[in-house]
Amino acid sequence: MEVGAVAAMRYVKDGIKAARLVMQHTEHTLLVGEKASEFAISMGLPGPANLSSPESMEKWVKWKDSRCQPNFRKNVLPENSCGPYRPTNYLGDPDETCFSAGQMLASNSGLLRVGRHSHDTISMAVIDRMGHIAVGTSTNGATFKIPGRVGDGPIAGSSAYAVDEVGACCATGDGDIMMRFLPCYQVVESMRLGMEPKLAAKDAMARIARKFPNFLGAVVALNRKGEHAGACHGWTFKYSVRSPAMKDVEVFTVLP
């Protein structure tokens, strides 16, 4: 149950190393923003550095030229522009804060959907020879996200979770949706109750799909014996496995 995470960290390339430093050298769980960058650099990681690439700058320029579309904002004016934005009087009462489920789903109908090429999550689970289990997730987040956005990557139980006596889980996909369900915590707890990895993974995906049928995501479940399985929704997902008994990495394909 040792956890370390960083979020919204800029100017430092090695996010997963920074997260490990938080775990090993602080009593905190999560550091964010500029202070996370300062901490990482103070602990010896390279920085501050310009992490923009020619490819990312080209994407950003094209996005600006396209009036900042696609865009993750909703219920704002003006539409189809780069702002500045103001909230719309969506329900006719500017102080109204209670949305019904139907109204929320209607307001989400035009949202940018997270796709296979709009995020870059890498998540890994490892069992050592003593039976200890560790997981880690690293990501730049969703393309064209609103500055300051934190997805499910640094949220324990969402993108990754592990318990030595049970197993582990890794996840990727639409983090803004998936983090509301803590799917990896669900997977591990389902395995604790006796579910095999395949059923635990499918159950976690089904819980999200019942509320958000158009979401895109995947999980990989691994029990303490090394048995593994994946489940996904909205795409065909692949994950890789390597063990001492294998001559090379094996890639597994999971159908939605």
Q: Which residues are catalytic?
A: 121
Q: 3-class secondary structure for 215-240?
A: CCEEEEEEECCCCEEEEEECCCEEEE
Is the N-terminal amide bond of 94 cis, ω within 30° of 0?
no
DSSP 199: H
Q: Six-digit token pair at 69?
A: 């579309």
CB 238 within 8 A of CB 252: yes
For the beta carbon of residue 96, count every other beta carbon within 10 angstroms.
10
CA–CA distance, 5 with 59 (Å, rounded to integer): 28
CA nearest neighbour of 150 among 3, 5, 1: 5
Q: Could you give the dihedral angle defined by the CA atoms of residues 90, 92, 93 and 94, in that order, rounded to the nearest 10 degrees?
A: 40
CB 113 within 8 A of CB 216: yes
Q: How far is CA 207 from the centre of its chain?
A: 17
- Cα dist from 57 to 50, 210, 234, whole Å: 12, 37, 29
